[in-house]
């Protein structure tokens, strides 16, 4: 497809800004809109097409913004609506599009609707916007069913008046009732509020969770996937129910009311690529995260299967693929790839656990190769802030510093996701490494490691061997190379353990996942490689882009 006519989101590289950890403009130790605005030139020089900003709405921050108290206000920790408007304008001036997060599955328990529901009491219409039920057992002291919270413990909390309410995440995040017309109308109105302020789309949080089985039946017993057998879809009472697509048909109409190409990206966890493809269609959402790619181990067969299945299923509904290696919910990928056999997750929202000794040098070599693989595949890609700096997962945060609700909810058995959310280093030899201004009044909200000076953007700038310069060159080349972005690929014959594919016109990507050096196929030039290429040979755990 000629990229001149195709909408931008079919091939965009979207940079994820986890706003509280990106850049702190006012010196309170928490990232904010002022900090983000000051770093737009950095993002432009990195060469990304858009930014996705994690929730910035008014929130008591029980889940760092994923508990929204008011969708039309910016939390004072981050700024104001006026500042958000300026950010959107300035980003556009830099040629960068802006996609905020929207959180439709639940609100904060401090949202006006939930407060009204608490005040109005059992059986009231106010409670009908959420999922309230009486308990089971003679005195109603058992939860209405056996559903569990993704953050640990039961998915129900009982109120002093006897009613129970549903929360698939923390108790501070009550689930909305999407069968209620007011809920549907309210979210369409919120979308219009932000579309009118110039946003280019939304990342939809927990997009697969909105519809619950009307009878709220118990969960069936959990079955582990059978090794060697393809994944299959299992009917589930609250994940990925068919009726959810009806909501997104309405959202698509809202997006289409606005000029230009707006884009929704679904955070949808589906059992199979077919089920994922159902989210993206002409009258539905535009794109969806490809978590199978993120969850794949550094294994040539597994990666190739994921790539083929994704391209086939998404292609069959006319949607572009997207590729992602890291985000704010999973262990950073240089740390994942640096372990002998990364622990696999088998249900959505189980967090990766860091197990076994870490060889960070190996993980970094693989991360460099993975970046070239991802950015050469057909479709769009996501880059999580700090990935371009090669940041490791911070695995030794002191327990007293941990803030993710998972830590408390799991009874201190799971450390949660703070290790990938540590404020990023910009410059200087010591914390806060330019994250906060010199006259900051508070330390960064999570402590940064003492050895992070070498990872700072300033330290890596101009160093041709650094991760940052690899990303800069790759993104520059991607823009300049007509073969990259949207369209298709053709696999080439390659030695065991090597992935090699061609993109037209005249481009080949080779990734060596074997333990042996491999000769590069015929080429006219090595455009870029993840490590030194000597004598036409690609070392293990390296990738190269070739002109052919």
Residues tagged active-site:
205, 257
Minimal distance in Å, beta carbon 248 to ligand GLC? Answer: 17
Minimal distance in Å, beta carbon 493 to ligand GLC? Answer: 39
Minimal distance in Å, beta carbon 237 to ligand GLC? Answer: 18
Contact status: 178 vs ligand GLC (CB under 6 A): no
Among 172, 329, 393, 418, binds ligand GLC (CB under 6 A): 329
What residues have CB less than 8 Å from 483, skipping those under 6 apart? 503, 504, 505, 506, 507
Judged by beta carbon, residue 329 or residue 388, the one nearer ligand GLC is 329
Among 109, 205, 387, 393, binds ligand GLC (CB under 6 A): 205
Minimal distance in Å, beta carbon 456 to ligand GLC? Answer: 26
Judged by beta carbon, residue 111 or residue 478, the one nearer ligand GLC is 111
CA angle centred on 293, ends 288 and 299, rounded to 5°:
170
Return the DSSP state at 452.
G
Contact status: 276 vs ligand GLC (CB under 6 A): no
Minimal distance in Å, beta carbon 169 to ligand GLC? Answer: 4
What residues have CB less than 8 Å from 448, skipping those under 6 apart? 394, 422, 423, 425, 431, 432, 433, 435
d(C-alpha 322, C-alpha 319), whole Å: 9
Judged by beta carbon, residue 446 or residue 484, the one nearer ligand GLC is 446
* HEC letters along 112-127: HHHHHHHHHCCCCHHH
Judged by beta carbon, residue 117 or residue 206, the one nearer ligand GLC is 206
Token pair, residue 278, equals 């159902």
Closest CA to 296 of 317, 312, 273: 273
Name residues contacting ligand GLC, limited to 458-517 (CB under 6 A): none
User: What ranges in 94-236 are assigned the alpha helix state H?
Assistant: 112-120, 181-196
Token pair, residue 314, equals 């998404």
Token pair, residue 19, equals 């706003």
Closest CA to 107 of 98, 99, 115: 115
d(C-alpha 117, C-alpha 109), whole Å: 10
Among 77, 91, 103, 255, binds ligand GLC (CB under 6 A): 103
Contact status: 34 vs ligand GLC (CB under 6 A): no
Contact status: 63 vs ligand GLC (CB under 6 A): yes
CA angle centred on 244, ends 239 and 246, rounded to 5°:
170
Name residues contacting ligand GLC, limited to 150-169 (CB under 6 A): 169
Task: Evaluate whether 379 touches 323 at the Cβ level (below 8 Å).
Answer: yes
Task: Evaluate whether 456 touches 433 at the Cβ level (below 8 Å).
Answer: yes
Judged by beta carbon, residue 103 or residue 199, the one nearer ligand GLC is 103
Contact status: 289 vs ligand GLC (CB under 6 A): no
Token pair, residue 498, equals 């090597």
Judged by beta carbon, residue 208 or residue 502, the one nearer ligand GLC is 208
Minimal distance in Å, beta carbon 63 to ligand GLC? Answer: 5
Contact status: 330 vs ligand GLC (CB under 6 A): no
Token pair, residue 143, equals 């939860």
Task: Evaluate whether 378 touches 12 at the Cβ level (below 8 Å).
Answer: no
Among 52, 66, 187, 352, binds ligand GLC (CB under 6 A): 66
Q: Give CA 427 to chain center in angstroms.
A: 26
Judged by beta carbon, residue 279 or residue 507, the one nearer ligand GLC is 279
d(C-alpha 234, C-alpha 275), whole Å: 11
Contact status: 292 vs ligand GLC (CB under 6 A): no
Contact status: 102 vs ligand GLC (CB under 6 A): no
What residues have CB less than 8 Å from 543, skipping those under 6 apart? 368, 369, 370, 372, 373, 509, 510, 511, 512, 529, 530
Minimal distance in Å, beta carbon 66 to ligand GLC? Answer: 3
Position closest to ligand GLC via CB? 66
Judged by beta carbon, residue 328 or residue 415, the one nearer ligand GLC is 328
Return the DSSP state at 136.
B
Residues contacting ligand GLC: total by CB under 6 A: 9
Among 183, 206, 484, 544, binds ligand GLC (CB under 6 A): 206
Name residues contacting ligand GLC, limited to 230-269 (CB under 6 A): 267
Contact status: 271 vs ligand GLC (CB under 6 A): no
Token pair, residue 447, equals 């402590």
Contact status: 109 vs ligand GLC (CB under 6 A): no
Contact status: 382 vs ligand GLC (CB under 6 A): no
Contact status: 99 vs ligand GLC (CB under 6 A): no
Minimal distance in Å, beta carbon 449 to ligand GLC? Answer: 22
Judged by beta carbon, residue 61 or residue 494, the one nearer ligand GLC is 61
d(C-alpha 420, C-alpha 393), whole Å: 5
Minimal distance in Å, beta carbon 206 to ligand GLC? Answer: 5
- By CB under 6 A, name the binding residues for ligand GLC: 63, 66, 103, 169, 205-206, 267, 328-329
């Amino acid at each position: 497809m000629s990229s001149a006519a195709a909408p931008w989101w079919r091939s965009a590289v979207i940079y994820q800004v986890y706003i509280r950890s990106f850049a702190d403009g006012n010196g309170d130790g928490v990232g904010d809109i002022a900090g983000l605005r000051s770093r737009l030139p950095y993002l432009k020089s990195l060469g990304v097409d858009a930014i996705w900003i994690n929730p910035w709405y008014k929130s008591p921050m029980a889940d760092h913004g994923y508990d929204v108290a008011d969708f039309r206000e910016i939390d004072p920790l981050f700024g104001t609506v006026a500042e958000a408007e300026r950010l959107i304008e300035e980003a556009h001036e830099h040629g960068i599009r802006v996609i905020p997060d929207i959180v439709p599955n639940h609100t904060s328990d401090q949202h006006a609707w939930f407060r009204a529901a608490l005040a109005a009491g059992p059986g009231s219409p106010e409670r009908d916007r959420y999922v309230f039920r009486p308990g089971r057992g003679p005195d109603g002291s058992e939860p209405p069913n056996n559903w569990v919270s993704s953050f640990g413990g039961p998915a129900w909390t009982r109120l002093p008046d006897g009613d129970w309410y549903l929360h698939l995440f923390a108790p501070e995040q009550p689930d909305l009732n999407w069968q209620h017309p007011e809920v549907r109308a309210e979210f369409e109105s919120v979308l219009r509020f932000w579309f009118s302020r110039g946003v280019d789309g939304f990342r939809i949080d927990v997009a697969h969770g909105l519809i619950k089985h009307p009878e709220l039946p118990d969960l069936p017993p959990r079955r582990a996937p059978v090794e060697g057998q393809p994944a299959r879809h299992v009917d589930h009472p609250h994940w990925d129910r068919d009726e959810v697509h009806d909501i997104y048909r309405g959202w698509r109409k809202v997006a289409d009311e606005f000029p230009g190409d707006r884009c929704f990206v679904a955070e949808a966890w589906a059992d199979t690529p077919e089920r994922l493809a159902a989210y993206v269609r002409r009258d539905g959402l535009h794109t969806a995260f490809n978590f199978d790619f993120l969850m794949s181990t550094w294994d040539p067969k597994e990666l190739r299967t994921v790539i083929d299945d994704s391209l086939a299923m998404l292609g069959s509904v006319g949607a572009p693929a997207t590729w992602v290696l890291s985000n704010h919910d999973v262990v950073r990928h240089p740390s994942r790839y640096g372990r002998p056999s990364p622990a696999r997750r088998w249900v959505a929202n189980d967090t990766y656990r860091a197990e076994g000794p870490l060889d960070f040098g190996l993980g970094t070599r693989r991360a460099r190769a993975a970046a070239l693989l991802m950015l050469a595949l057909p479709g769009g890609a996501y880059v999580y802030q700090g990935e371009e700096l090669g940041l490791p997962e911070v695995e030794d945060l002191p327990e007293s510093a941990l803030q993710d609700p998972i830590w408390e909810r799991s009874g201190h058995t799971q450390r949660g996701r703070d290790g990938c959310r540590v404020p990023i280093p910009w410059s200087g030899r010591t914390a806060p490494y330019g994250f906060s201004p010199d006259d900051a009044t508070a330390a960064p909200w999570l402590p940064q490691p003492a050895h992070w000076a070498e990872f700072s953007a300033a330290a890596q700038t101009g160093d041709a061997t650094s991760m940052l310069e690899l990303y800069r060159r790759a993104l520059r080349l991607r823009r300049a190379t007509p073969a990259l972005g949207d369209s298709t690929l053709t696999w080439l014959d390659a030695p065991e353990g090597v992935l090699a594919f061609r993109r037209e016109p005249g481009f080949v990507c080779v990734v060596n996942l074997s333990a042996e050096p491999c000769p590069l196929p015929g080429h006219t030039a090595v455009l870029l490689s993840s490590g030194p290429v000597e004598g036409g040979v690609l070392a293990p755990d390296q990738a190269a882009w070739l002109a052919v």
